[in-house]
Structure 1
Amino acid sequence: MTDQAVDTGGPAKVAGSEEPSGAAPPRFFGRARELKALRADIEHAGLDTLAGRRAARARVLLIAGRPGSGRTALAEELVRLLSDDHPGGLLRARLTDPGGEPVPTERTARELLDQLEVTGPPGAEGDELSELVREALAGRRALLLLDDAVDAEQVDPLLPDDADCLVVATSEGPLTGIPGVRPCTLGGLDAASAVRLLSDAIGEVRITVDPRTAETLAEECGGLPAALVMVGGWLAARPMASVADATKQLRELPDGPEDRPVGGRPLARAFRLVHDSLPPTAARILRLLALAPAGIADAHTASALAGCSVSAARTTLDDFVALGLLRSDAAEQPQYEVPGCLAPLLRALLEATDRPGEIQLARARMLERTVRLLQSCRAATEPEGSPARRRIAGLPRSLRFPEPGAAADWLRSRRPALLASARLAVADGELDTLARRLVSALVRALAVHHGTEAAAPDLYGLHGLVLAVAERRDLPRERAAALLNLADLDAGTGRTRDALTRYRAALDAGRLAKDLYATGRAMESVGGAYAELGDYQRAADWYGRALAQRLTQGERADEARLYGRLGAVHTYAGRYGEALRNWRAAAAGYRRLGDVPAHARALSEAARVQEYAGRPRESLRTCQEAVDWAGRAGDVRLQAALELRLADTFERLGDPAAARLHRGLADRLLKEKGLTCEIRSVVTEN
């Protein structure tokens, strides 16, 4: 998006001009005094400097003003002017949702880490992630733009511990609690800049013929850039209307609710002027954009909300951009954003004008369209003729992706809105079936396009949403699945005790649902968690319970794997007799299944146990058998590792010649395949 677009602060930009959209780059108007004061404040000596100490943290410049005052545009202009002095780059984050709720620190920190190309651990708390942000910014001399902060508690955790960084924050009021912050408070634009903004939108002729009325119109708009942009767009769409016409109609509009602040009334009147002049269909589409997740929409979102065609929706959205009601990026398939200053006005108007049933129906259509797009996005990676591709073949062309790259690009660009859509759908609580389908489709699309590991932070949040719905709707099977997925991610990031708690909760849910897969998986995972914690007795007990269930179900592959897990924990505990019996059972199971590589690995582990038990000659025989099976499997690394183990055993038995022979065999095996010569040991079968 362009830096000077109409945003949450109502920036001053050329919008709704009579030139074609995008014909000229947006320009910044006025605020010269404020810019000078802000730049001077950067050099202002803080308490640390006066005390002779180097500042321990980044300076914070605060731009305060009511919505629509242009605070974000001023912040954008300031960071543009300062960019050359901060080669570490610019990071942006918005700290308030369109619904008015503060964004949690965890989400903001992840957004900043994404821009820094750092992956935070899935499930990490806000404190841990904000610490990662500070570590990543150390020594970078970067700029941070934190837009629309609610309070100091949102900003303080994100401040870099580096005096060379600079933070520019915008807020409606002061950020009490951050030392050394002096707000630059914005009012309306000065009269000359306000009239210039109108002139740039509608041309000079209508301003020149009645300059005093133009100044009066600017006063009626309170000098607020967002209001001026909308009124300018309204006039640009009506070449025969005069500035006096706009002023008269603006004055005749009511102020709205009595509890609305006086300073916010000009923006509300300008918005109503534009909204009430729209055709009924367009006005309804505009109101329904209050439902757009994260305030971000595209043509599909608007089409689904309004029940119209995609092309008609895009034309209407472009008209809204010209009227200053939306801002858009310059992509081939653009996304449109509702300015933060207009979001509450849209929401209030929607609730006052449209019936609850119609609003819920529009929300359901939007979610259903999103599910179909996600299914199509995932299916784009499948080969031609696959069941998934056949299923989407009947969808309209606008819902299909021509190739996997286009699907991946769509998913990447829409990711913030898709995640917000999932959160809002679950929070709504009235469309849980659609919410579950949406989350499921999003999980699958992220996994196939980004990979499970790269998408893990997003997946953690999505599994949490599934858990919330399952608990609300009393769905034990879904609850068990969500708990297992969350526990797996906890275990993968070292939070083993948290994982153990969730695995045991998943076991209870699986038993309640009579889901044998979930209960077996949970028991095995509980055993794995205890093994990770070093409690091998409990690990063996839980693996034994899981094995008993598998034996009753005749699941031979799972039986063999669990025998191997039992063999491993008994080995760690020094119970070599039990370990050897289980590894032999695992080897026999794999042999019956015809899994030659797994059979070879199980034999190699049995040989390891025999060696630990002080039975080197038995270990030699078993190890040689494992070498033969590894050769049949074509597993060169395993063959080489086993040859090295044979060499070590022969050395301990006092036969250096045989040891050299087997080391030479290992070297030749690796060199023939061009593999590394460093083989530590055979990994225990997972």
Structure 2
Amino acid sequence: MAAVPPGRRLSVPATGAPARAAAFALPGFVGRRRELEELRADIVRAGLDTLAGRKSGRGRVLLIAGRPGSGRTALAEELAGQLAGRYPDGVLRARLTETDGSPVPTERTARALLAALGEPVPPGAEEDELTQAVRAVLRGRRALLVLDDAAGAEQVDPLLPDKSECLVVAVSRGPLTGVPDVRPCTLGGLDTASGVELLERYAGPTRITCDPAAAQAVVEECAGQPAALVLVGGWLAALPKLSVVDAVTRLRELPSGDNLDVAGRSLSRAFRLAHEALPAPSARILRLLALAPAGAVDAHTASALAGCSVAAAQTALEDFEARGLLRAEPPSGSLSPQYRVPGCLTALLRELMAAQERPAEIELARARMLERTVRQLHSCRAATRTDDPLTRKRLAELPRPLRFASPQAAAEWLRRRLPALLAAARLAVQDGRLDTLARRLVSALTRALTAHFGAEEAGPELYGLHQLVLDVAQRCEMPLEKAAALLNLGDLDARAGRVPTALGRYREALDAARQAGDPYAISRSLESIAASYHELGDWQRAVDWYGRALELRLTRGELADEARLYGRLGG
């Protein structure tokens, strides 16, 4: 079967959203041969339904269970790379847990899966409708789904394809009780030989070969945990004058948390070792990366957080990658490199930031990052209007790193950074306020999406942004913002064919607009209510509401709007 052609829908390949692409084998992957063999054998293993004489109603689900830092995601990616040729409809990836540990809403994951498959996604569709659409699209296809960091069975079960030849590889901390016929492949530490090999890949072969006993001691101190071994290997690579014995000695000197298990203590000590070896400016940049939305980092994000130049931030990020503190994302066209904070280090970074950074400095760093994001979004939108002399002048006034070479480059940046941008918008208003910076961010993101992809293609993302504003406006009793959000949501509902729902939104918007005393919002609400009745074929009510809107326009002397409404009434 041919691969599914990419649709016109906006696909969001990042945290909380799947990416449809050919699987790739990790170049640094070592060990886990027994686990890989077990997983491959488990694909064709007779399940309980087969043993009972029933045909299984779903595709095979493989579960890789382990704590963060055990290499569970790397194993899932290695398995996907080996099996990709068997699944011609491609590989879909989705991370089901946010960087703060909260589960990603299933409707968001389902919406992004549909987008990655090129299927239409109605804005504002409910979770059941979206998950049913995912199952229907995957029925009869051969695709491989990698669902990373699942918090529970309730996130995985609704996405499992019915009567499908698809394979689902789920990654979780423990068993997914509730998903039938799944036998977990539980990961512990690497065996000693594989641990030494992984250490060598980062530290280089010379010191490991000269002192194999010390290398084995490092593996033992790290409890064979791949993430801890990578950090120690990066520490050795950054400090060529120190020996492997020095690494063992330093690890044993570091304190370990009494409330952590063996694997957790190993990762915590390795992270402290790596952090303490950094120069003070780099260590501060690393700590502030805990604020990066969705864990996605580029030079602009790091520069804004730390208040340093973009060049200095890029140098620091490259150093962090070499030390195993960041993971580089696959390159994308002409865009600058993007990195991701490993999920197993996010909590450690937050703890370190809270302990060593003042609250005022943290707030200032967050504000700088959001301000930089707003400026980038303005530049991204302006890239579509280079025929306007005023826009060209404003673009020329921007610093060169904030400009885009072409509209295509701006669209590529927006598409790639969208998960982080949406996460930034959620973070900007999560404290329950719509302050100036949060308003500007949501507005700039909405306009950039509309300018590059159009209201129809970007509808699901716009719907989420307007819903976010509505939640805050209701919580904080902000009637004007509530009216604006309801009007925008009503427009998207009407465009998706949910006219009765849109009518309810418009009526609520009218009440909020009257409470705020805003003539523009009142007029817009009246006209939208009339248009909804018109769409429903209720001519009497449509005429009545158009007449109310006309009366308001007549009192304000708005001639152009009066003419338009006379035309509507005539129609």
Query: In the TM superposition, what are the counterparts of 1:295-444 in structure 2 within 5 Å?
Result: 295-329=295-329, 330-331=331-332, 332-384=335-387, 386-429=389-432, 432-444=435-447
C-alpha distance in 2, partners of 1:276/1:431?
A: 38
Contact 2:432–2:476 at 8 Å: present in 1 too? no
How big is the shift at 1:116? 0.6
Structure 1: runs of 5+ lacking an equivalent: 1-6, 9-23, 569-686
Aligned residues of 2:59 and 2:161 also touching (Cα < 8 A): yes
Shift of 1:535: 3.1
After superposition, residues 274-293 of structure 1 pair within 5 angstroms as: 274-293=274-293
Question: How far 1:262 sits from its partner (Å)?
Answer: 3.2
Q: Which amino acid counterpart does residue 185 of structure 1 have in structure 2?
A: T
| Counterpart-to-counterpart distance in 1, 2:293 and 2:284 | 17
Query: RMSD of the TM alignment (CA)?
Result: 1.8
TM superposition shift of 1:407: 1.3
Aligned to 2:7: none
Give matches, 1:560-639, under 5 Å: 560-568=563-571
> Hey, what does 2:548 align to over in structure 1?
545
| Shift in Å, 1:340 | 0.5
Q: How does 1:225-264 map to 2 (within 5 A)?
A: 225-256=226-257, 258-264=258-264
Q: Aligned residues: percent identity?
A: 67
Gap change, CA 1:431 and 1:493, over 3 Å in 2: closer
Q: Which residue of 2 aligns with 1:594?
A: none
The yes-or-no answer on 1:164 pairing with 2:165 is yes
Hey, what's the Cα distance between the residues in 2 that align with 1:430 and 1:527?
Answer: 33
For 2:441 and 2:79, locate their aligned partners in 1 and report how far apart those are by CA, in whole Å: 40
Which amino acid in 1 is paired with 2:52? A
Paired residues of 2:62 and 2:169 also in contact (CA < 8 A): yes
Please state whether the residue corresponding to 1:136 is helix, strand or coil: helix
Residue in 2 that maps onto 1:498: 501
Q: SS where residue 397 of structure 2 aligns? A: coil
Cα distance, 1:378 vs. partner?
A: 0.9
C-alpha distance in 2 between matches for 1:477 and 1:269: 51
SS in 2 for 1:428: coil
2:209 matches 1:208: yes
Q: What is the Cα deviation at residue 209 of structure 1?
A: 2.2
Distance 1:377 1:87 in 2: 35
Distance in 2 separating the partners of 1:27 and 1:295: 21
Distance 1:204 1:150 in 2: 38
* Number of residues of Structure 1 aligned to a counterpart in Structure 2: 546
2:366 counterpart letter in structure 1: R
**Rounded Cα–Cα distance in structure 1 between residues aligned with 2:361 and 2:503:** 45
The corresponding residue for 2:3 is none
Partner amino acid, structure 1, of 2:304: A
Letter of the 1:274 partner, please give it: A
Match in the other structure for 2:513: 510
| 2:362 alignment partner, SS class | helix
The CA deviation at 1:228 is 0.5
Aligned partners of 1:472, 1:395: CA distance in 2, in Å? 37
SS in 2 for 1:188: coil
Instruction: Check the 8 A contact 2:87/2:143 in 1, yes or no.
Output: yes
Residue 32 of structure 1 corresponds to 33
Unaligned runs of 5+ in 2: 1-14, 17-24
Q: Distance in 1 between matches of 2:384 and 2:495?
A: 27
Aligned to 1:61: 62
Q: Kindly provide the CA deviation profile for residues 105-135 of structure 1, in whole angstroms up to 9, marking residues without a partner as x.
A: 0111122122111231111122111111112
Query: 1: distance between equivalents of 2:546 and 2:261?
Result: 65
Q: Partners of 1:51 and 1:513 in 2: how far apart? A: 65
Q: Do structure 1's residue 76 and structure 2's residue 104 form an aligned pair?
A: no
Distance 1:40 1:511 in 2: 66
Quote the residue 2:534 is aligned against.
Answer: 531
Distance 1:26 1:79 in 2: 14
**Any idea what SS the aligned residue of 1:146 has?**
strand
Quickly say closer, same or farther: Cα 1:364–1:431, change in 2 above 3 A.
farther
Aligned partner (choices 467, 471, 487) of residue 468 of structure 1: 471
Partners of 1:120 and 1:132 within 8 A in 2: no
Match for residue 636 of structure 1?
Answer: none
| Residue of structure 2 equivalent to 1:684 | none
Q: C-alpha displacement at 1:539, in angstroms?
A: 2.2
The answer as to whether partners of 1:364 and 1:431 remain within 8 angstroms in 2 is: no
Matched to 1:220, the amino acid is: E
Instruction: Give the drift of 1:507.
Output: 0.8
Secondary structure (helix, strand or coil) at the match of 2:38 reads: helix
In structure 2, give the amino acid aligned to 1:281.
Answer: P
Q: AA paired with 1:158?
A: L
Following the alignment from structure 1 to structure 2, what is the Cα–Cα distance between the partners of residues 310 and 68? Answer: 30
Aligned equivalent of 2:453: 450
Give how far 1:512 is off: 2.1
How far apart, CA to CA, are the structure 2 residues paired with 1:188 and 1:132?
39
In 2: Cα distance, 1:533 partner to 1:254 partner: 69
| 1:645 aligned residue | none
Q: Secondary structure of the equivalent of 1:406?
A: helix
Q: Give the conservation status (yes or no) of the 8 Å contact 2:228–2:266.
A: yes
Deviation at residue 536 of structure 1 after TM alignment: 2.9
Verify the 8 A CA contact 1:432 1:469 in the aligned structure 2. Answer: no
Counterpart Cα distance in 1 of 2:204 and 2:48: 50
User: In the aligned structure 2, how far is the partner of 1:106 from the partner of 1:386?
Assistant: 42
Structure 2 CA distance for aligned equivalents of residues 282 and 392 of structure 1: 31
Q: CA deviation at 1:373?
A: 0.6
Q: Structure 2 vs 1, CA of residues 317 and 155 (structure 1 numbering), >3 Å: closer, same or farther? A: same
Partners of 2:223 and 2:262 within 8 A in 1: no
When Rg is computed on C-alpha atoms for both structures, the one with the higher figure is 1
Q: Would you say 1:125 and 2:126 are equivalent positions?
A: yes
Work out whether 1:521 is the aligned partner of 2:524: yes
**TM-score of the aligned structures, taking structure 2 as reference length:** 0.92
Q: Which amino acid aligns with 1:450?
A: F
**1:349 Cα deviation from its structure 2 partner:** 1.1
**For residues 361 and 335 of structure 1, what CA distance do their matches in structure 2 show?**
23
